[in-house]
Amino acid sequence: MPTALEIEKSLFDFAPKSDAMDWDNVGLLVGDPAAEVTRVLVALDATEAVADEAAAKGCDLIVTHHPIMNCRWLPVQSLREDTPQGRLLRKLTRANISVICMHTNLDVAEGGVNDVLAHTLRLEDPGPFLADGLGRIGQLPAPMALRDFVARVSEALGCNGVQYADAGKPVRRVAVGGGACGEYADAAAAAGCDTFVTADVGYHVFLDAAGKGINLIDAGHFPTEDPVLPVLIAYIRGKFPALFIEKSASHREVIQYYVKGE
C-alpha cells in the first residue's frame, strides 16, 4: 500500500505545491510520511465530525481542500485539549490519522476547483480569469435570463439558497471563482463578463457590482467547492486502485436560508 508521502507526492503532480498562494499551507500537514495508507476519507474540511467518521470507518488518511492548520485564517500556536482546533489535532494524532490538504493549488489546477465549477454550470470553453490562475471565464451558448441561470446554479450545485444582485443584463459571459472570491467582481466586470458566480460576498461588494453592470451570484462557499471532491477521489483511485477511498458522509453545507413569504 502507498505511504502518506507517496499520496502527497501524487496529489502535488495534479496540483503542484508551487501554485499555492504564499499565505497558504498545503500538503501532508498531520501524520507520519512513512505510514502506510489503506483507507482514505475525502472532505472539504477536516471538521471534528469528519475526524470521528474517519476513525469509525478505520481510515488512516483524510484528504481535504481547506488547510487544517496554519493558513491565513487559522493560526495554530498551541495544541491544547480546551481549544476546538487543539482537540481536533490531538484526536487525529491519537487515532494515527494523517491529513493532506490541497487548497489554493487545487483552486488553480487544471481540472481543479474552478474548472469543475465551470463545467458543473455548463459553461463552454472555460479559460483563464485572473493572472494568478484563480477563477475561470466561460460562455453560455445563448443568453439566459438571470433568474433562470440562478436556478441552474442552485440546482447544479445543490445550494440551500442563493443570494444575487441583478445588474439588469442577461447571462452570457460568466466568471466563476469557487469559495471567497467576491473581491474579484471588478476584475470579472473588466474582463467583459456580465455575471460572476462566487461565494462569501459582502454587502458593499453586492452594492458596487450592480452599479458596475455585473450580475453577482453568491452560491455559497461549500456548494461552489464541494464538486471538486469526486474529481479528487477519481484521481487518487486512478493512481492507487488498491486504496479504499470515499467522500465524507458527515460533512455537508451548514448554512440554511429563511426566505420571506415561504
Pick between residue 31 and residue 223 the one whose CB is nearest to Zn ion: 223
**Residue 20 or 140 having the CB closest to Zn ion:** 20
Q: Please count the residues of this chain forming the interface with Zn ion, following the rule CB under 5 A.
A: 2
Least distance in angstroms from the C-beta of 44 to Zn ion: 7
Q: Which residue is nearest to Zn ion (CB)?
A: 179
Tell me the window of 3-11, 137-145, 153-161, 178-186 that interacts with Zn ion (CB under 5 A).
178-186
**CB under 5 A: which stretch of 13-21, 86-94, 160-168, 223-231 binds Zn ion?**
223-231
Q: Measuring CA to CA, how many Å separate 98 from each of 29, 43, 86, 246?
A: 8, 13, 15, 15
Q: Is position 112 an interface residue for Zn ion (rule: CB under 5 A)?
A: no
Residue among 2, 27, 138, 179 that touches Zn ion (CB under 5 A): 179
Residues 19-78, interacting with Zn ion (CB under 5 A): none
- As measured in angstroms, the least distance from the Cβ of 66 to Zn ion is 6
Element (H, E) at 157: helix 146-157
**What SS3 class is residue 56?**
helix
In this structure, what C-alpha cell is assigned to residue 251?
Answer: 460533512
- Scanning residues 203 to 222, which ones bind Zn ion (CB under 5 A)? none
Q: Where are the beta strands (DSSP E) in the chain?
A: 27-30, 39-43, 61-64, 98-101, 124-128, 136-144, 163-165, 171-180, 195-199, 215-218, 244-247
**Binding piece for Zn ion, criterion CB under 5 A, among 12-20, 83-91, 173-181, 190-198:** 173-181
Evaluate whether 179 touches 126 at the Cβ level (below 8 Å). no
Instruction: Work out whether the CA dihedral 157, 161, 163, 168 comes out positive or negative.
Output: positive
Residues 73-92 that bind Zn ion (CB under 5 A): none
Specify the residue for cell string 461549500.
222
Helices (H), 15-57: 48-56
Please report, as ranges, the residues that interact with Zn ion according to CB under 5 A.
Answer: 179, 225
